[in-house]
Amino acid sequence: MPLLARMVPSPLSVDIRRGAVEGLAALLRDQRISSRGQVAVVVGPGQGEQIIAVVRPAFQNAAVYPVEGGTVEAAIELADSLRAGSYDAVVGIGGGRTLDVAKYAASLTGLPMVAVATSLAHDGIASPVASLDHDGHKGSHGVNVPIAVVVDLDYVRACPPEQLRGGVGDVLSNLSAVADWELANTERGEPLDGLAVALARSGAEALLHRDDELVSDAFLTTLAEGLVLSGLAMAAAGSSRPCSGACHEISHAIDALYPDQAAHGEQVAVGALFASYLREYEHLPALDASLRRHGVARVPRDLGLSADQFAAAVKHAPSTRPDRYTILEHLGLDEPEISRRVQSFVAGFES
């Protein structure tokens, strides 16, 4: 009897623990990625240089490429440098922007990429997407899933708390994104991928009721696993659909109208709470409590926005992803009704 199954791109190794960085060289040898350490190490500003100092003795044949900024131009320049050398793999060490540059450059050159995350600000650490700036606009680019993911809790604990809160917001927003996808399935017959939904929702629900400290080993492990599961959900779906709904449309609109206003994860957290409010989501109280418990942005003022500015972003949001059907497209609110709903949301959640 034939076995019918699909192949979902996923890392060969996911290592989330204290001291994980020290095992990086062994991981590369054990997984046959680079037995001689002939790798290009891409390092961003911040803790990347500290990690290089730790692993340098094991990477005598490595070349180090510092990068700054998450732009398409930086990734193309890096790809040109990679083509000029002879490498088995690319090892990206840093935050989300550095990893996205490394992922895109590795995909352009056909090299496997190892993601060593020094922060847990968003779900890009294991995703098939690189979010990069080009001509002042941020765009999403399809890339290969990292061949390995390393998260050292000692390093991510040292990153600014707001980055961790952004990661919490990004993972929890999966609940809203999945609800939007289910709505699109019901109303428009859009195919729903059950595996992608299960991965995205599992990561979010694992965080939803946790009440331990943001920087505890247990919480950071669950957060990192949730971000990895989000990446795998997107790989399974072949798109960002399981992790991106009205929450991300609103965030994209904020980026367009009020550039550099707040971190991505905080914006999608507010977007997810508002979208959940609009749909009268059954888990709305739990979502609000979780965001509040961990100090994640919940309302427009937490992003430095007025109610009117947020209403303008909600109005603009559907135009950021014209192909996506969410609660915003479903309700089709006009400007006065958007303003009324936002004012009601603010009044109910700002206390």
pLDDT in tens, 277-302: 999 988 899 999 999 999 999 999 99
CA separation for the pair 210, 156 (Å, rounded): 19
Domain boundary among 156, 173, 194: 156
Are 43 and 93 in contact by the 8 Å Cβ rule? The answer is: yes
**Mean pLDDT (10-residue bins), the chain, 351 residues:** 76 94 85 84 80 76 86 94 93 90 96 93 88 80 93 92 95 98 98 97 97 96 97 94 97 94 95 97 94 97 97 97 96 98 96 74
Give the pLDDT confidence score for residue 95 in this predicted structure: 87
Amino acid in the structure at residue 200: A
Based on the structure, what is the number of domains in the chain? 2
| Cβ-based neighbour number of residue 62 at 10 Å | 20
Same domain, 345 and 204: yes
CA 179 to chain CA centroid, Å, is 18
Give the count of beta carbons closer than 10 Å to the beta carbon of residue 341: 17
Residues 88 and 167 in one domain: no
Q: With 0.85 as the threshold, say if the pTM is over it.
A: yes
Per-residue confidence (pLDDT) for residue 30, from 0 to 100:
78
Q: What is the largest CA-CA distance in the chain?
A: 64
Q: Are residues 143 and 188 in the same domain?
A: no
pLDDT at position 78 is 95
pLDDT at 2: 62
Around Cβ 6, how many Cβ atoms within 10 Å? 6
CATH assignment at residue 315:
1.20.1090.10
- Would you state the pLDDT for residue 257? 96
Structure tokens at 83: 């083509």
Helix (H, G, I), strand (E, B) or coil at 145: coil
Question: In the prediction, which pLDDT does 138 show?
Answer: 76
**Dihedral, CA atoms, 206, 174, 263, 117, nearest 10 degrees?**
60
Decide if 119 is inside a domain: yes
- 36 found inside a domain: yes
Contact 86, 97 (CB under 8 A): no
Domain residue limits at 107: 13-156
